[in-house]
Amino acid sequence: MKLTEPRTLAPPERRSARVTAVERLGAYVLIGAHDSDGPPDPRPGQFYMLSTAGRWGGGADERPYLPRAFSHARAREGELSFLLEAVGPGTTRLAELESGEALELVGPLGIGWRAARDGTRPLLVGGGIGAAPLLCLQDELGADAEALLGFRSADHAQAAALFAGIPAVATDDGSVGRQALVTDLLREQLDADPATTVFACGPPPMLEAVRLLCAELAVPAQLALESGMACGFGACFGCVVPTRDGYIRLCVDGPVLEADALASAVFPGAGH
């Protein structure tokens, strides 16, 4: 296990990376970009604020002016990849990028995954696009780090192929893997071996279910959370979320938080 310092500092300004590959993966798009001016070692669980140089706001149908936050899915020798689903104007525009175009970015930002508790095995738990920051975590931990992945459908479950080994997959419609919630798979795993640290990312209700289950079984868990982020580096306070110790800015003190720090992983009114 190499995880030590989970924060790599970002260069202080926006820069351009060159898009090197765009791959459709069912419901998702995997964008590769060569970030020659950025640090080569973003920590798994950190994120970047992304935008495009052209057609990023300015017209009635072009709402984004602010960049959008994305975890890097992989980082290898200056080559970053981002896994995204087109759910709104920003993600739709990013999904239209082509090889050779510029991807504007700021990052890496935030604090990523911390090391697993001593004497426990890491278990990665992803829901939908929440698989993204678990990919680079598995790259770092090694293929032995098992992944449990939940998806809506077979189209979304294509992202499972990016993981090493054979991740356990659950789908809502049973079209791939088990027809179950990923938290059903998690409960079975924790019942079998509670000496586990859980690393989870996914939609807020899934993260809340993971938090409650891990609290019930006294299993340490880290949750990568989402909140609406306007700046990504602590200036706007748009991303504040409540913790047991008061409000924090998720972009600088997260996005990965210890589950114990939270009274809930669902933040009414925050983000989406």
Ligand X SMILES: Cc1cc2nc3c(=O)[nH]c(=O)nc-3n(C[C@H](O)[C@H](O)[C@H](O)COP(=O)(O)OP(=O)(O)OC[C@H]3O[C@@H](n4cnc5c(N)ncnc54)[C@H](O)[C@@H]3O)c2cc1C
- Residue 186 region by backbone torsions, left for phi larger than 0, else alpha for psi between -120 and 50, else beta: alpha
Angle, vertex CA 187, rays to CA 185 and CA 193, nearest 5: 105
Work out whether 271 is an interface residue with ligand FES (CB under 6 A): no
- What is the SS3 string spanning 121-134? EEEEEEEHHHHHHH
Beta strands in the chain (DSSP E): 15-25, 28-34, 47-52, 68-71, 74-76, 79-84, 102-109, 121-127, 146-151, 168-171, 178-179, 196-201, 221-224, 240-243, 246-249, 256-258
Q: How many CA atoms lie within 13 A of 40 on its CB side?
A: 4
Q: Tokens 């079975």 label which residue? A: 188
Judged by CB under 6 A, the stretch of 51-59, 81-89, 156-164, 179-187 that binds ligand X is 81-89
| CA 124 to mean position of chain CA atoms | 12
Q: How many residues does the chain have?
A: 272
* Whole-angstrom distance, CA of residue 155 vs CA of residue 151: 9
Segment near ligand X (CB under 6 A); pick from 33-41, 69-77, 159-167, 258-266:
69-77
Site for ligand X in 237-256 (CB under 6 A): 255
Gyration radius of the chain over CA positions: 18
Q: Which of 84, 125, 190, 265 binds ligand X (CB under 6 A)?
A: 84
Cβ 42 to ligand X shortest distance, Å: 12
Is 256 a residue that touches ligand FES (CB under 6 A)? no
Based on CB atoms, which residue is closest to ligand X, 129 or 257?
A: 129
β-strand pairing of 28-34 with 240-243: unpaired
Near ligand FES in 213-242, by CB under 6 A: 229-232, 234-239
CB of 175 to ligand X, least distance (A): 19
Judged by CB under 6 A, which stretch of 76-84, 139-147, 150-158, 262-270 contacts ligand X? 76-84
- Per CB under 6 A, which region of 31-39, 66-74, 145-153, 158-166 contacts ligand X? 66-74
Q: How many residues line the site for ligand X (CB under 6 A)?
A: 22
Cβ-based nearer residue to ligand X, 43 or 68: 68
- Residue 268 C-beta: closest distance to ligand FES, Å: 18
Q: Quick check: 226 binds ligand X (CB under 6 A)?
A: yes
Rule CB under 6 A: which residues touch ligand X? 47, 64, 68-71, 82-85, 87-91, 129, 132, 226-227, 229, 255, 272
Rule CB under 6 A: which residues touch ligand FES? 229-232, 234-239, 249, 251
